[in-house]
Amino acid sequence: MSDFKAKNIDPRERLIVALDLPSAQQAKDFVQAVGGEAVFYKVGLELFMSGGYFELVEWLVAQRKKVFVDLKFFDVPETVRSAVRGLHHRGVSFATVHGNQAIMEAAAAEKGDIAILAVTVLTSLDRGDLDDLGFACDVERLVLSRARRALEAGCDGVISSGLEAPMLRNEIDHRLLVVTPGIRPVENRVSDDQKRTVDVAQAFANGADYIVVGRPIRNAADPRQAARDIQHTIARVLG
């Protein structure tokens, strides 16, 4: 069990809403539809390729929202170092990095006041996918290895499925932030590309510090109510 309750995190910031939308204007409209029920947003690759990415980041910061830049920096270390440096003074709270020790170290060295999160194993991958990628070890061992190396490299946390969160809490220093994507309110469906999922309450019970929620809010008939319901669940778990 995590001691996440002891961390100085505003409970309402523990929900990070994923802005996986085709345009910056649609993202803004969605943020306004959710209203005050969410204060932390993840801005990823789809919006980066649509144009207006940093204008959207600036708009979110102006709306007093926290921003998680999820671009999974993966390149030669000096390029990653420069990419992280480019986020300085933009009001960004979190950014993701992917890759080996040198890449993670380069990102961490340039982080300033940005929390650098290392990707362990994407929640869209399962054992069969790892076989295809040439990884001989099981998912849990790979996640644990990458998390340990991330902490050694100076990263602040990891992106990890809630299924592996208990292991991380048992094996690694509690300073490590655990951010859990792939949150689903019910048993996962075959048509969903997320494979290693948990629900909101289980994610926190397993040791997550933050959860990232996209489709369950975005596709809800009332996104504001969907976000409100998740916030209520978080408050109950923290209580």
Catalytic residue ranges: 72
Spell out the residues 6+ positions from residue 117 whose beta carbon is closer than 8 angstroms to its own: 94, 95, 96, 97, 155, 156, 157, 158, 159, 177, 179
And the tokens for 173? 């220093």
Which residues sit opposite 97 in a β-bridge?
Answer: 73, 118
Spell out the residues 6+ positions from residue 160 whose beta carbon is closer than 8 angstroms to its own: 120, 121, 143, 147, 168, 178, 179, 180
| CA distance linking residue 116 with residue 113, whole number of Å | 9
Which residues sit opposite 212 in a β-bridge?
Answer: 16
Amino acid of residue 73? F
| CA distance linking residue 202 with residue 237, whole number of Å | 9
DSSP of 110-122, one letter per residue? T-TTSEEEEE-S-
What ranges in 121-222 are assigned the alpha helix state H? 127-133, 139-153, 165-171, 200-206, 215-218
| CA distance linking residue 77 with residue 93, whole number of Å | 21
